[in-house]
Amino acid sequence: MMKNISGVAVALGLAAFLLAVPAFAGSASDFPTDDATLSALNDQQLTLVHTAARECMSMPRGPNMGRACVIASVEQAVSLSNNEQLKAFNARMPSSMRYNEYRTMIDVKRVFSHTEK
């Protein structure tokens, strides 16, 4: 019973965080896509993903709740940050890559080269 309640709480928290993430105020052309900025933003966001994954793995959870926990934790950390570029980076990253600890800079550059057009 307790596992079901915690699973529902995580799912509700995830939905709230995903709805609360503000979009980058500027247009796609305003977002910096130079290698240094993308690399720094990728490193910051990956640090959040690694931290969330480590914390979520240490918590008791039901089946498939690990990913929901990581998503909710990352989205909360990003939304609480004062870094608008990090928020925009996170929002523009496809969900298939956003929470992937093993994504490469080649993949990141490919995503952002498509968004600047």
Please list the helix, strand and coil fractions of the chain in percent, rounded to the nearest 5, in that order: 75, 0, 25
Nearest to 74 by CA among 94, 52, 93: 52
Which pair of structure tokens corresponds to residue 112?
Answer: 């952002």
> Domain segments of the chain: what residues?
2-17+33-115
Name, of 5-14, 22-31, 72-81, the range with top average pLDDT: 72-81
pLDDT attached to residue 23: 42
* Lookup: tokens for 41: 């933003």
Q: What is the pLDDT of residue 1?
A: 45
Give pLDDT, residue 99. Answer: 92
Q: Which of 38, 16, 34, 20 is nearest to 85 (CA)?
A: 38
Say what the pTM is. Answer: 0.69
Span 74-95, average pLDDT: 93
What is the DSSP code (8-state) at residue 53?
H
C-alpha to C-alpha distance for 15 and 11, rounded to whole angstroms: 6
Task: Summarize pLDDT for 41-78 with one digit per residue, the tens.
Answer: 999 999 999 999 888 888 776 656 678 889 999 999 99
